[in-house]
Amino acid sequence: MSDVATTLATADELFAPAKRRYKTTTMPVSGKTVRIQSLTERETSNYEAQALAKSGSLRLGRLEDANRRLIALCLVDGAGNRILNGSFHVAKIAEWDSADAKHVYRECALHTGINTDEVEDLVKNSENVTVED
């Protein structure tokens, strides 16, 4: 057994407000640089819950635009203000070059800790469960 001293977090440290993390990435096709922010656990849970109806079944329409919704949640300006909001911008992202959209989505998912395999599995398996639009 190791006698290495470990400093354990206190409750005050655990519940201190999270500081946003930021990163920039350049879209491979358009060459535009975007800034991505981290999400809180509440924001991540709300994002994930939007794919489920109140009955607990999957909402196919919300799964289909899950990548675009995550992009809209994460893209911010230099001051940390979201630059995209609402279904209008989510729909507009659908017109991006797919390589740009996939790149930004992957960077957002990686930065926020969202497991892209879980989202892809939900989409693939949505044919086997009750689906609501």
Q: How many domains does the chain have?
A: 1
**Backbone phi, psi, residue 94, to 5°:** -60, -20
Does residue 7 fall inside a structural domain?
no
User: Which range marks the domain in which residue 69 is found?
Assistant: 23-127
Which long-range contacts (C-beta less than 8 Å, at least 24 apart) are formed by 45-50?
Answer: 47/73, 47/114, 48/114
- Directed axis angle between helix 41-49 and helix 66-74, to 10°? 160
Give yes or no for a contact between 41 and 33, defined as CB atoms under 8 angstroms apart: no
Does residue 8 fall inside a structural domain?
no
pLDDT tens profile 80-89: 999 998 889 9
pLDDT at 50: 81
Average the pLDDT over 104-133 and give the result: 70
Instruction: Write the CATH number for 108.
Output: 3.30.2220
pTM: 0.78
Render 12-28 in DSSP notation, one character per residue.
Answer: HHHTSPPPP-EEEEE-T
pLDDT tens profile 86-113: 889 999 999 999 999 999 999 999 999 9
Does residue 114 fall inside a structural domain?
yes
pLDDT at 56: 57
Higher pLDDT, 30 or 45: 30
Which amino acid, one-letter code, is at 5?
A
Which helix (H) or strand (E) is 100 found in, with range? helix 98-112
